[in-house]
Structure 1
Amino acid sequence: MSLARSRRGSNRGFTLVELLVVIAIIGVLVGLLLPAVQAAREAARRMSCSNNFKQIGLALHNYHSAYKKLPMQMGGTSRPGTNWFQAGDQANQLSLGWLVGLTPFFEQQAVWEQISNPSVVNLAAPGTIRNPPWPAMGPTITDENNVNGSGVNTRNTAYAPWMTEMSTLRCPSDPGTGLPAMGRTNYAACIGDGVDFMADGAYFPNLNPSSARAENIRASGRGVFVTRIAMGFRDILDGLSNSIAAGEITTDLGDRDKRTIPRFGIGFTNARDNPLFCRNQPAGQGLDPLRPLFWASGVTQLAASNQGRGYRWASGTATYSSMNTILPPNSEVCVTFSDTGQGMFPPSSRHQGGVHILIADGAVKFITDSIEAGNSATATVRLNGTGAQSPGSKSPYGLWGALGTRASRETESIED
């Protein structure tokens, strides 16, 4: 009898209390492990992001070895007499970005062949042959289309290369994908710590050259890349290891993020002389005081849904593929009048606490948001500026600004 009781007792299952305790323990373990798993995944994405940037840096050096100069930011073909920001099929109107020429150097030869030759592929009418073909180096990439007085806001989304998204140009930590963007990029050329004439360079909007404008951009274009001017390593007098060539940017997700959708309409003078203009606006017209990473709901002059940061990999306009070292990383983007304007274009990322930057010598560094950045309220250097704003002055924006200039001869260093 006692033996039977012993056998029955040894076969009993778990009680409800025991099951609940086990489930609770498993829940606690999962809760402890999940953040570690997420952190490991983000670390892997961040490393992949850095590796992509290194590939671009290597491509930049190979390009320079081949052509003895860097790819131009805002270069390409032109049809003088028509404003460069107007859409057209005959030329790209000197609007191509630095990444276009690099495509064959980071294993995108097929894309380069499409761009550098006339193309009959028409995404607007699949299966048909475009006649006449797209020209070599492609059409424009801008939104404005007043060529025929129509005033229609459109893009050349029928041209296949401009719509191509390449993995090398994407940071895995950035979840943005697909429309309303064209091909996205997370890497932008550094155009220095100046603002004046950064939109057009030494040209009038109709692409006629101007000696007066050339003098202005010579004074304010202090980065490794300068709008519509071919630069080379010989121009980087501070040394390749002390100058930022490019920075990481995050693309827009349609959520009014201050880093990815510009606030428009600030005016030329404010863009040049008041870097904190957008931040210091009255309640409802600037940043949301309760959510300072986002624009307030009352900010009406924002970009169109297809004008987010990094939305057009092939475009050389600052909104899409440039950065400057005026405001610290992950600060707000603020533009004069449209996506083709000038203003504040700090780098940004989905990584915690900072961004990747590409040094001109090919090294990739992680820069924190708290980098010493001088006085952000100070006006930018420009032609006819006085005091700290006179041409050739050291950067008003501390270490951050000094790293963005190529020839300011300031003492600077980045620790690993």
Structure 2
Amino acid sequence: MKRKQSAFTLVELLVVIAIIGVLVGLLLPAVQAAREAARRMSCSNNFKQLGLAMHNYHSAFKRLPQHGTGTHPDQPVNIWIPSNSGNWSANTHANNMRLSLLVGMLPFMEQQALWEQISNPLDNNGGTPAIWNAFGPTPDQIAYTPWSTEVTTLRCPSDPGFGLPALGRTNYAACAGDSTDWIRDGYHWVRAGQPLPYVATTGSAANSNAAHRGVFVAGRGMKFRDILDGLSNTIAMGEISTDLGDRDITTMVTDGTSNNRNNLRNNPSWCREQTAGPGAFIDPLRPRFWDATTNVRSAASGRGYRWADSFPLFTMMTTILPPNTELCSMGSLDRDLVASNSSRHQGGAHVLLGDGAVKFITDSIEAGNSRAPMVRNGSTGTSSPGSASPYGLWGSLGTRASKEVIQEEL
């Protein structure tokens, strides 16, 4: 008598496959969430390393790393050209005082080898000039290898941006506070008849003292003692997304205000409110992207594209509009720019406080009146110098000495 062999029927096999498919479908979101949680933790740890580097730098030099520093073309005349003496100009002989705070922090975040390349003359491998001067050219020069080097500590694992047209990317930027008035220039250095030294006029110093209320001021040496509101109550740096070339409102800047500083400083939401014309406006059907007719900067001018460059688009952030809101400029990547922090995380972005603590700030943080004029020199009323930040808790976290009490636990 033959024994009957048991086996799966086709229906049973299909049922098993369907069950496995359902289980995989249920499991994938959990796996993706776990991966993102791990990336977010790694991002936070990178920021903590930057906090330690900042504190160790201050311990060594009794000051914070300067944002907007470096070298300037000197005599002879055949090297120094007056027309490209400004920090906005490209130069192969010096960096035009355009280096970000991240350059000075390199030895304090395990990047001594890269620092040695930058701080010494470097062979250009047969190019022009034959030898790069110490501290290199302006950070837009791709032929200078250090500027295109990707530094792992400066990258958030959640951000997929990589490679050209960017040079070395960064996901971490210096906090400039709650005003953009002359944000690029700090003390607004001017040339006093000679290439060096630079001096500041009385008027430019007054502009800077009134508007530049963040921990870092371009062109000025800052110290922990300047943070009178307390290190644990003040944002020193913020996380930023790098541009992917997709017209994202948080990573691609518009030419919206056509060099009109008044538009921007009188209403930080100016770009958001434009609905027509050559300015800036957001796609009403896809509110995370600029409209196809909106003027945007060139492909090489994306957010976070140059870790060594002190220009606001690359390594600065403001506490005016809440996190993950649009970039809005006065018409140029190196000019006044409303640029909040942003991230590829869900619902917010990290900030580094002055005491080295890393906090996750949600997009819904209380941010006051986003249409209120910025605090600046020459203004009156609630935007006069010394006023409380018009941008609520978010704005007060970005100011270092405005005597605003923060009662919320971040």
Q: Would you call these one fold, judging by a TM-score over 0.5?
A: yes
Match of 1:151 in 2: none
Match of 1:278 in 2: 271
Structure 1: runs of 5+ lacking an equivalent:
142-154
State how far apart, in whole Å, the 2-side matches of 1:335 and 1:351 are: 24
Query: Closer, same or farther in 2 for the Cα pair 1:205/1:172, shift >3 Å?
Result: farther
Match of 2:353 in 1: 359
Displacement of 1:298: 1.0
Match of 2:195 in 1: none
Q: Structure 1 residues 46-55 or 382-391, which shifts more?
A: 382-391
Contact 1:117–1:135 (8 Å) recurs in 2? yes
Match of 1:299 in 2: 294
Displacement of 1:193: 0.2
Match of 1:255 among 229, 236, 246: 246
Contact 1:97–1:313 (8 Å) recurs in 2? yes
Matches within 5 A, 1:20-59: 20-59=14-53
Given residue 342 of structure 1, which amino acid in structure 2 is its aligned partner? D
State how far apart, in whole Å, the 1-side matches of 2:366 and 2:240 are: 20
Name the Cα RMSD after superposition: 1.5
Match of 2:194 in 1: none
- Structure whose CA Rg is larger: 1
- 1:372 paired with 2:391, answer no
Match of 1:228 in 2: 219
Secondary structure, in 3 states, of the residue corresponding to 2:273? coil
State how far apart, in whole Å, the 2-side matches of 1:405 and 1:334 are: 20
Match of 2:141 among 136, 148, 156: 156
Given residue 280 of structure 1, which amino acid in structure 2 is its aligned partner? E
State how far apart, in whole Å, the 1-side matches of 2:228 and 2:126 are: 51
Query: Closer, same or farther in 2 for the Cα pair 1:413/1:174, shift >3 Å?
Result: farther
State how far apart, in whole Å, the 1-side matches of 2:240 and 2:132 are: 30
Match of 1:188 in 2: 173
Displacement of 1:283: 5.1
Q: Give a deviation string over 1:56-110, Cα, whole Å, max 9, x none.
A: 0000000000111111111111237422211112211111101000000000001
- 1:314 paired with 2:308, answer yes
Match of 2:77 in 1: none
Match of 1:133 in 2: 131
Contact 1:272–1:343 (8 Å) recurs in 2? no
Structure 2: runs of 5+ lacking an equivalent:
75-81, 192-197
Match of 2:317 in 1: 323
Given residue 312 of structure 1, which amino acid in structure 2 is its aligned partner? R
State how far apart, in whole Å, the 2-side matches of 1:323 and 1:115 are: 25
Q: Give a deviation string over 1:155-182, Cα, whole Å, max 9, x none.
A: 4101111111110000000000000000
Match of 1:112 in 2: 115
State how far apart, in whole Å, the 1-side matches of 2:211 and 2:307 are: 25
Given residue 273 of structure 2, which amino acid in structure 1 is its aligned partner? N
Contact 1:265–1:338 (8 Å) recurs in 2? no
Match of 2:91 among 85, 88, 93: 88
Secondary structure, in 3 states, of the residue corresponding to 1:312? coil
Instruction: Tell me the TM-score normalized by structure 1.
Output: 0.91
Provide the identity percentage. 59
- 1:238 paired with 2:253, answer no
Match of 2:403 among 381, 403, 409: 409
Instruction: Tell me the TM-score normalized by structure 2.
Output: 0.93
Contact 2:159–2:344 (8 Å) recurs in 1? yes
Secondary structure, in 3 states, of the residue corresponding to 2:34? helix
State how far apart, in whole Å, the 1-side matches of 2:23 and 2:134 are: 59
Match of 1:390 in 2: 384
Displacement of 1:137: 1.2
State how far apart, in whole Å, the 1-side matches of 2:129 and 2:348 are: 48
Q: Give a deviation string over 1:116-153, Cα, whole Å, max 9, x none.
A: 11111x3xxxx537654111111112xxxxxxxxxxxx
Displacement of 1:382: 0.4
Q: Structure 1 residues 349-358 or 274-283, which shifts more?
A: 274-283
Contact 1:220–1:382 (8 Å) recurs in 2? yes
Secondary structure, in 3 states, of the residue corresponding to 1:24? helix
Secondary structure, in 3 states, of the residue corresponding to 1:395? coil
Given residue 126 of structure 2, which amino acid in structure 1 is its aligned partner? T
Displacement of 1:205: 6.2
Q: Give a deviation string over 1:199-230, Cα, whole Å, max 9, x none.
A: 22223565653221111011000000011111
Contact 1:202–1:211 (8 Å) recurs in 2? no
Displacement of 1:112: 0.7
Contact 2:268–2:372 (8 Å) recurs in 1? yes
Match of 1:176 in 2: 161
Displacement of 1:272: 1.0
Number of aligned residues: 391
